[in-house]
Amino acid sequence: MLIKCYGAAPQGIDAVIVTIEVHAVPGFEFTLVGLPDNAVKESHERIVAALTVNGYNKPRHTLTINMAPADIKKEGAAYDLPLAIGMLTAEEEVKTALLGQYLIMGELSLDGTLQPIQGVLPMALAARKAGFKGMILPEQNAREAAVVQGLEIYGLKNLLEVVRFLNETQAFEPTRVDTAAEFANHAFTSDLDFSDVRGQENVRRAMEVAAAGGHNMLMVGPPGAGKSMMAKRMPSILPPLNLEEALETTKIYSVSGLMARRKERDGMSSALIVQRPFRSPHHTVTDVALVGGGTNPHPGEISLAHNGVLFLDELPEYKRSALEVMRQPLEDRKICVTRTKMSVEYPASFMLVAAMNPCPCGHYGENNPAHPCTCTPAQIHRYMSRISGPLLDRIDIQCDIQAVPYSTLKDTAPGESSEVMRERVIRARKLQEQRFAAYNEAAKKPIHSNAQMTPKLVREFCQLDAASDKMLSYAMDKMGLSARAYDRILKVARTIADLDGNDSIQIQHISEAIGYRSLDREDWV
């Protein structure tokens, strides 16, 4: 007897359909093939225990189970349920009529209870693409899978319910999620607002420019100046996620196993991530944790920040190797992790917001007699040299930040709100969408903001008049800027012009963009 049922194996942020073939002949042996890892091999003991607890006899046949395709590594306990169903079908406890119509995944407890799994959204998308009618999985994962329209999603509690469903002895209602309502019910809300910020008008302006163009940003200033405070408020002025971005972001969190632990305000598991991520890893983070990888590759912090913000506080304290590995994803908006037996690609289109002190003690350049800088020029140079020039070239906006005086701190009048700033950012982004619409129709890698412009698009959309060109030429010679920094200045100037609603880049836009290259000045040690 040959039985077939179907599961799925995550590959990057996508999934591949896995066919589980069960061949039964008289005997008492069990063989599992198809490149399973140890967790999958251990499923036999879990399954036998679950079957026994739920009143089924131990398998009375020699079972040979093949998990195809055999060249893809099968990992984790999520295959418990399809393997158990295949074994029960071979023992004629489950009918075969519905097996080919549903993708089945779930981890089994020893009492037959279904436990949540990760990577459900990519599995559901793969199931729809492969033409399955629906999906059977643990009830904790049902809402996440139900985001995919055109599939019947049945979230069940235990093995017995799955058997009853497949044998058509008990009816169950499929889980449904209204994606539009999901967006509406979880519209952007945040307790973090720029109205809480006192002073720092120049930094607020720089952050608005960064948000409007999707530019990477570095803040340099003394401790307590508000760098972290303002960085945490960056998502509040970014445009809301669209459906495509939300699905892609959710897929990353799904394969990372973070969706099951993510809770909404009402205590229910989130079906879809509708707010831009904000990730802030500690400076002790490892290279693999930051960029992704491992023996069994998983997304790193740069991918978890996809379509959102990656905040690196105390930038020079991060390992040099971790920062250098991040250079290529900043350009390509993706990270490719290659291992001996597999290669996976994770998206990494994020805004980098970084913060650092100007020197080891943190008080260089601060006009405060109470906190004089005690660092020597050599110490400051070594401190700044922890960040390589190529990485700095990839940061469009470098902004000085000074401590806020007491007179400003005690001011009770609220500053400009994030909502007002976000409206200006959205208007600028709409101009960019219109500008790149013709290009994106034929492009394999669409462009959504000025920061993502290719050199060809920079030449096309960042034309300068004579006065602006003269100013930029002088700045390039005086500051010794690289060709990459030249492109960055033009991109930032284009964004500033968009915020002003101007079709052309004018001299004031170039002047402001040059001012955002603070670490390129001669007065830095």
Average pLDDT, rounded, for the chain: 87
Q: With a cut of 60, say whether residue 522 has pLDDT above it.
A: no
Dist CA 368 CA 146 (whole Å): 58
Q: How many CA atoms lie within 13 A of 314 on its CB side?
A: 13
- Which positions ≥6 away from 470 have C-beta within 8 Å? none
Residue spans of beta strands (DSSP E) within 74-209: 102-104, 107-108, 114-115, 134-138, 152-156
For the stretch 295-322, pLDDT in tens is: 778 899 999 999 999 999 999 999 999 8
Are 437 and 482 in contact, with CB atoms under 8 Å apart?
no
SS3 21: strand
Q: Is-contact 364 375, C-beta < 8 A?
A: yes
Contact 74, 10 (CB under 8 A): no
CB pairs under 8 A, 24+ apart, for 480-485? 480/520, 481/517, 481/520, 482/389, 482/393, 484/390, 484/393, 484/394, 485/393, 485/517, 485/520
**pLDDT attached to residue 371:** 77
**8 A C-beta contact, residue 496 and residue 512:** yes
Helix orientation angle between 466-479 and 483-500, rounded to the nearest 10 degrees: 140
Domains defined for the chain, CATH in brackets = 2-177 (3.30.230.10), 194-240+275-520 (3.40.50.300)
In the numeric block, which tokens belong to residue 289? 């944790």
Per-residue pLDDT, 232: 92
Show the DSSP H helices in 233-311 as ranges: 243-255, 287-291, 301-304
Answer whether residue 190 shows pLDDT above 50: yes
Amino acid letter, residue 79: Y
How high is the pLDDT of residue 270? 61
Q: Given this model, what pLDDT does residue 264 score? A: 42
What average pLDDT does range 200-229 have in this prediction?
91
Residue with more model confidence, 148 or 178 = 148
Higher pLDDT, 410 or 248: 248
Which of 27-36, 106-115, 295-304 has maximum average pLDDT?
106-115
Predicted confidence at residue 475, as pLDDT, reads 84
Number of other CB atoms surrounding residue 260 within 10 Å: 19
Phi, psi of 140 (to 5 degrees): -65, -25
- Tell me what pLDDT residue 18 has: 94
Q: Which residues have CB under 8 Å from 270's CB, separation 6+? A: 143, 144, 186, 259, 262, 263, 264
User: 442 or 18, which is more confident?
Assistant: 18
How many angstroms separate the CA atoms of 292 and 304, rounded? 10
pLDDT digits (tens, 9 = 90+) for 357-381: 988 988 887 777 777 888 888 998 8
**Which element (helix H / strand E) includes 67?**
strand 61-68
Q: How far is CA 420 from CA 45, 93, 155, 229, in A?
A: 59, 63, 42, 18
Q: What pLDDT score does 179 carry?
A: 76
Tell me the pLDDT tens digit for each residue of 411-428.
Answer: 667 778 889 999 999 999
Structure confidence at residue 521 as a pLDDT band (50, 70, 90) = low
Residue 268 confidence (pLDDT) above 50: no
What is the spatial distance between Cα 525 and Cα 468, in angstroms, rounded to a whole number? 29
